[in-house]
């Protein structure tokens, strides 16, 4: 990974000041090369800037700022092997040059010299207040920790970077790679430490379920139960996997029946599992067993009072039972929890229709239509963005 940083902004405290009195013989040349270098640097003409500062460093080898500027230019060009000695010389001549040691740490990191880079990068990430420099040093510190195998420290840096830069695509990209790698390494360590443990079977089941390997995931979950038959949460996971398999294979009836058994087994072990109660209630509702569905939805909201879908399912079931007056409370609760869910408004309209409240019915339907239109517009915008050639700079 080669980071291309707009380091000029974050290191703007580094200035070159030509010491004319100390260099009387070359004062005019020093001034000319300084001005040429700064102009080229400001305009992004790094090759020209490098040539100017190379000449400047030859004429004035004892001016630290000239070496610092040259090291900065080399860094911008990706010439890290040349950047390092220039930055070292600048620090040797003037150890107090602001941020030069941090830039040196980033250049060393680019060269894979992580141990040597660490002190400056740690200092830069912990103490610097400039957002751009903190971000740059953090990304390089994250890279150095990973290269040295300090995965726990790399994760800490990634978490802090994502907190500070929640919408930065580069930060999020590197964090996602790091988290995925850290999770993989943790599973490898788990396999080495406890190859026959329920924890490894559970981790394998979750991984395979996320990959869509449903049957393999179910087998791993059953291994967990073989070691600990009364472990909470496993029957629920199997039930969810069975639902996914049924949707994929088109055998909803068979899979629904199997899944329902798993959810019921889960509730026997843990009656407070609101998710299992909800899923079982939804299966009963779809099969028109409305009274049983009502019991299960009520159980779900009892143990999870802010469960939007369960309140909606309960209200919908009560409407189906002809108990529209009772349905109003859970439907209104669902709307209070998620007013943007258009289906809650639709169900509220149905309840008001059964009660003969035409005015309230029309209000609910109007909100349902408004939310549907907004959703359709958003979906159309996404489709349009996906189906056209994106704008890009001309060469």
pLDDT at residue 24, as a whole number: 52
pLDDT of residue 251: 61
Task: Please report how the helices 274-286 and 234-249 are oriented relative to each other, as an axis angle in degrees rounded to 10.
Answer: 30
pLDDT on residue 200: 83
- The enclosing H or E element of 281 equals helix 274-286
Give average pLDDT by consecutive 10-residue segment, the chain, 395 residues.
39 42 61 84 87 86 89 90 94 91 94 93 89 91 91 91 92 87 73 78 84 89 92 94 84 82 96 95 94 96 94 96 96 95 94 95 95 84 57 57
Confidence at residue 111, expressed as pLDDT on a 0 to 100 scale:
92
Choose among 119, 73, 115, 68: nearest CA to 93.
68
Q: For each of the domains in the chain, give its residue range(s) and CATH number, in order of start.
A: 7-189 (1.25.40.10)
What is the model's pTM? 0.58
Q: What was the pLDDT predicted at 389? A: 55
Q: For position 341, what pLDDT does the model report?
A: 92
Count the helices and strands in the chain (H runs, E runs): 20, 0
Residue 344: predicted pLDDT: 94
Distance CA 318, CA 311 (A): 11
């Amino acid at each position: 990974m080669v980071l291309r940083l707009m380091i000029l902004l974050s290191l703007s405290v580094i200035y070159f000041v030509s010491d004319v009195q100390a260099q009387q013989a070359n004062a005019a040349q020093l001034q000319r090369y300084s001005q040429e270098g700064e102009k080229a640097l400001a305009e992004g003409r790094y090759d020209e800037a490098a040539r100017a500062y190379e000449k400047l460093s030859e004429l004035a080898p004892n001016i630290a700022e000239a070496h610092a500027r040259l090291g900065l230019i080399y860094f911008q060009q990706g010439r890290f092997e040349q950047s390092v000695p220039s930055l070292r010389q600048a620090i040797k001549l003037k150890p107090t040059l602001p941020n030069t040691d941090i830039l040196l740490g980033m250049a060393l990191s680019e060269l894979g010299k992580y141990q040597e880079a660490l002190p400056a990068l740690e200092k830069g990430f912990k103490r610097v207040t400039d957002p751009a420099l903190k971000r740059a040093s953090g990304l390089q510190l994250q890279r150095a920790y990973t290269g040295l195998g300090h995965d726990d420290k790399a994760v800490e840096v990634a978490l802090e970077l994502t907190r500070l830069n929640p919408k930065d695509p580069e930060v999020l990209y590197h964090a996602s790679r790091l988290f995925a790698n850290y999770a993989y390494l943790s599973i490898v360590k788990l396999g080495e430490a406890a190859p026959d443990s329920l924890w490894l079977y559970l981790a394998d089941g979750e991984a395979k379920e996320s990959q869509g390997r449903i049957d393999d995931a179910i087998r791993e979950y059953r291994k967990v139960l073989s070691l600990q038959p009364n472990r909470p949460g496993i029957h629920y996971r199997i039930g969810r996997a069975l639902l996914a398999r049924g949707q994929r294979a088109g055998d909803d009836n068979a899979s629904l029946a199997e899944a329902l058994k798993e959810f019921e087994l889960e509730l026997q072990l843990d009656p407070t599992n609101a998710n299992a109660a909800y899923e079982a209630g939804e299966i009963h509702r779809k099969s028109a067993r409305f009274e049983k569905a009502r019991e299960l939805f009520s159980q779900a909201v009892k143990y999870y009072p802010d469960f939007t879908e369960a309140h909606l399912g309960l209200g919908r079931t009560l409407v189906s039972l002809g108990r529209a007056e009772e349905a109003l409370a859970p439907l209104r609760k669902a709307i209070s929890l998620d007013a943007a869910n258009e289906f809650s408004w639709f169900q509220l309209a149905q309840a008001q229709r059964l009660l003969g409240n035409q005015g309230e019915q029309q209000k609910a339907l109007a909100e349902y239509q408004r939310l549907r239109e907004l959703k359709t517009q958003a979906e159309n915008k996404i489709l349009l963005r996906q189906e056209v050639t994106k704008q890009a700079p001309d060469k």
